[in-house]
């Protein structure tokens, strides 16, 4: 019996891989949805959309990839976000070959933000390290704005943001499940992206990205008050985002760890832009 082959997911193979993911990984997303999601690449020439494992002509496994070029502390940094790692039971012994096909590509920093427990263990074997998974659950309370404004109209956000923050806003405006706003004043604006969630049967906001951690922390109370006025009871932000624990908050832990493989990047360099966390309505 020949060993299954591994090949990159190129443009002709992408529809076949998307059909496999819909049938074998998550049927709540159609093959078309999977295909459209994986087309969200943020580099001029992505090397592939991931890799597939093929036994003769049949796809029996695969691993997806989102590529992005970003500026981190002024330097161009190339990211590969691993997604949708799925292998049929009879071929599980081939799983690490797929992961190696991804991470042996030179020049990239690698992340996986939704690994299962088994996948996370496999990634740790491959020298990935976990990010701090703790989250702060902040009770949204009424507060005075003290000159701080929250902008939610696209025209106002675009007028306030500049540089990387403006580009990141534009890169993500096409995803309807992402809520984007700018908070601050003429002294500075922070771009915030969050998703609507439910916590204890109440509406909540899960923060995915802040463009300026110091401004975000300074304006956290007005932001929570703004969300409360719109019926959102709690704000959820990763513990590593803030330098302090707000008084009206508690720590939740026990989440599946998000993973990173990088010789140089620090935890504070990592957010969830340009990844499956934004490209899919998860």
Asked whether the predicted pLDDT for residue 145 surpasses 80, the reply is no
Mean pLDDT, to the nearest integer, of 179-201? 97
Q: Are residue 123 and residue 150 in the same domain, yes or no?
A: no
Mean pLDDT, to the nearest integer, of 245-273? 92
Model pLDDT for residues 116-143, shown as the tens digit of each residue: 888 999 999 999 999 998 999 999 999 8
Model pLDDT for residues 213-247, shown as the tens digit of each residue: 999 999 999 999 999 999 999 999 999 998 889 98
Q: How far is residue 184's CA from residue 61's CA, in Å, rounded to a whole number?
A: 47
CA angle 69, 150, 179 (to 5 degrees): 50
Residue 25 phi/psi, 5-degree rounding, is: -110, -55
Residue percentage of the chain with pLDDT more than 90? 89
> How many distinct structural domains can be found in the chain?
2
Q: How far is residue 22's CA from residue 224's CA, in Å, rounded to a whole number?
A: 37
The answer to the question of residue 187 being in a domain is: yes
Asked whether the predicted pLDDT for residue 75 surpasses 70, the reply is yes
Mean pLDDT of the chain: 95
The answer to the question of residue 259 being in a domain is: no
Asked whether the predicted pLDDT for residue 21 surpasses 60, the reply is yes
The whole-angstrom distance between residue 5's C-alpha and the CA centroid of its chain comes to 29
Asked whether the predicted pLDDT for residue 1 surpasses 60, the reply is no
Q: Are strands 234-238 and 202-210 parallel, antiparallel or unpaired?
A: parallel
Predicted local distance difference test score (pLDDT) of residue 244: 86
Residue percentage of the chain with pLDDT more than 70? 100
Q: Are residue 57 and residue 139 in the same domain, yes or no?
A: no
Q: Which of 42, 24, 41, 22 is nearest to 32 (CA)?
A: 22
Residue 252 phi/psi, 5-degree rounding, is: -110, 140
| Cα torsion 199, 201, 205, 206: sign | positive
Q: Are residue 33 and residue 139 in the same domain, yes or no?
A: no
Asked whether the predicted pLDDT for residue 256 surpasses 90, the reply is no
CATH number at residue 43: 3.40.630.30
Instruction: For residue 190, give its domain range.
Output: 135-253
The answer to the question of residue 217 being in a domain is: yes
Q: How far is residue 66's CA from residue 208's CA, in Å, rounded to a whole number?
A: 17
Predicted local distance difference test score (pLDDT) of residue 243: 82
pLDDT tier, 169 (very low <50, low <70, confident <90, very high otherwise): very high
Q: Which of 133, 80, 148 is nearest to 108 (CA)?
A: 80
């Amino acid at each position: 019996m020949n060993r299954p082959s591994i090949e990159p997911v190129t443009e002709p193979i992408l529809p076949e891989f998307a059909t496999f993911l819909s049938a074998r990984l998550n049927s709540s997303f159609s093959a078309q949805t999977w295909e459209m999601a994986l087309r969200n690449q943020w580099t001029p020439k992505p090397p592939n959309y991931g890799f597939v494992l093929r036994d003769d002509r049949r796809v029996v496994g695969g691993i997806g990839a989102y590529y992005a070029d970003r500026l981190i502390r002024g330097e161009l940094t190339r990211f590969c976000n691993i997604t949708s790692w799925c292998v049929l039971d009879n071929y599980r012994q081939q799983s690490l070959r797929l992961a190696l096909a991804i991470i042996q590509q030179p020049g990239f920093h690698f992340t996986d933000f939704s690994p299962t427990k088994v996948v996370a263990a496999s990634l740790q074997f491959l020298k990935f390290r976990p990010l701090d998974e703790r989250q702060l659950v902040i009770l949204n309370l009424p507060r005075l704005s003290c000159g701080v404004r929250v902008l939610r109209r696209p025209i106002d956000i675009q007028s306030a943001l500049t540089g990387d923050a403006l580009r990141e806003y534009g890169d993500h405006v096409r995803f309807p499940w992402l809520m984007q706003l700018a908070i601050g004043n003429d002294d500075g604006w922070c771009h915030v992206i969050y998703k609507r969630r439910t916590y204890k049967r109440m509406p909540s906001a899960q923060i995915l990205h802040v463009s300026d951690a110091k401004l975000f922390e300074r304006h956290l109370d007005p932001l929570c008050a703004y969300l409360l006025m719109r019926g959102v009871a709690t704000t959820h932000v990763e513990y590593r985002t803030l330098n302090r624990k707000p008084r009206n908050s508690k720590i939740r832990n026990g989440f599946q760890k998000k993973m990173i493989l990088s010789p140089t990047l620090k935890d504070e360099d990592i957010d969830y832009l340009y990844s499956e966390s934004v490209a899919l309505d998860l």
